[in-house]
């Protein structure tokens, strides 16, 4: 379980394909605090630490993860938003985030607004995922509030701190992102579908 409050950025230093798995090695200031079997969210994707060496650690993405996220599009040198799993009793500063990406979205607009930024993302509406204005959304693992909700798109407003301390500053039109929709909203939508 995560909160969507990014702790730091990591840098991919190696990608190794093994059958249908992808081993991802990341350099991060968090490495010295990690241990084998620990869960870490990478751009919102919950992955398990399988190896640690010096200031780098390795996680493995299996076929299912590669199919449902943008992990397969990552490259050496890419910056990743990192968050360790929350501790029981910690403050929940963002919202409840599972680290289970629902689908990939695409950045379709970026607008600077005198010190803040508005980002707009589109996603495939066939999945029945929804956003609501002032509801929660996770973009690349970052807990955000929806400021404009449409049928298959939404916008978020980014403050300077978030822009600088997450990989939002690397986004361009066409950047693919991992989306995790609000878990409570997903349950409500599912119950509505069952009740029809």
pLDDT of residue 178: 97
The whole-angstrom separation of Cα 45 and Cα 54 is 23
Residue % of the chain over a pLDDT of 70: 94
CA distance 13 to 56: 8
* pLDDT value for 94: 64
Can you give the pTM of this predicted structure? Answer: 0.87
**Lowest-confidence range among 21-35, 103-117, 174-188?**
174-188
What pLDDT is recorded for position 93?
A: 64
Q: What is the pLDDT of residue 175?
A: 98
- Selection from 172, 167, 155, 187 nearest residue 8 by Cα: 167
pLDDT of residue 39: 95
Do residues 185 and 135 touch, judged by C-beta distance below 8 A?
Answer: yes
Q: Can you tell me the mean pLDDT for 18-30?
A: 96
In the block, residue with structure tokens 């230093």: 13
**What domains are defined for the chain?**
8-84 (2.40.30.20), 103-195 (2.40.30.20)
Residue 155 half-sphere exposure toward CB, CA atoms < 13 A: 13
* Cβ pair 22, 66 in contact under 8 A: yes
Higher pLDDT: 182 or 116? It is: 116
pLDDT, the chain, mean: 91
Summarised one tens digit per residue, pLDDT across range 131-170 is: 989 999 999 999 999 999 998 999 999 999 999 999 999 9
pLDDT at position 185: 73
Does 92 score more than 80 pLDDT?
no
Tell me the pLDDT tens digit for each residue of 30-78: 999 999 999 999 999 999 999 999 999 999 999 999 999 999 999 999 9
39 or 194, which is more confident? 39
């Amino acid at each position: 379980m995560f909160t969507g409050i990014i702790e730091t950025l990591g840098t991919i230093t190696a990608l190794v394909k093994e059958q249908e798995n992808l081993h991802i090695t990341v350099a991060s200031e968090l490495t010295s605090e990690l241990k084998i079997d620990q869960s870490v969210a990478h751009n919102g994707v919950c992955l398990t630490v399988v190896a640690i060496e010096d200031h780098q650690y390795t996680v493995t993405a299996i076929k299912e993860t590669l199919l449902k996220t943008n992990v397969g599009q990552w490259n050496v040198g890419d910056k990743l938003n990192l968050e360790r799993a929350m501790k029981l009793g910690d403050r929940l500063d963002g919202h409840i985030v599972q680290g289970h990406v629902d689908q990939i979205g695409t950045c379709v607009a970026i607008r600077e607004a005198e010190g803040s930024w508005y980002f707009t993302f589109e996603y495939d509406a066939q999945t029945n995922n929804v956003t609501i204005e002032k509801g929660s959304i996770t973009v690349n693992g970052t807990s955000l509030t929806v400021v404009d909700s449409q049928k298959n798109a939404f916008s978020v407003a980014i403050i300077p701190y978030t822009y600088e301390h997450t990989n939002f500053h690397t986004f361009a039109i066409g950047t693919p992102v991992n989306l995790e929709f609000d878990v409570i909203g997903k349950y409500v939508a599912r119950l509505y579908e069952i009740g029809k």
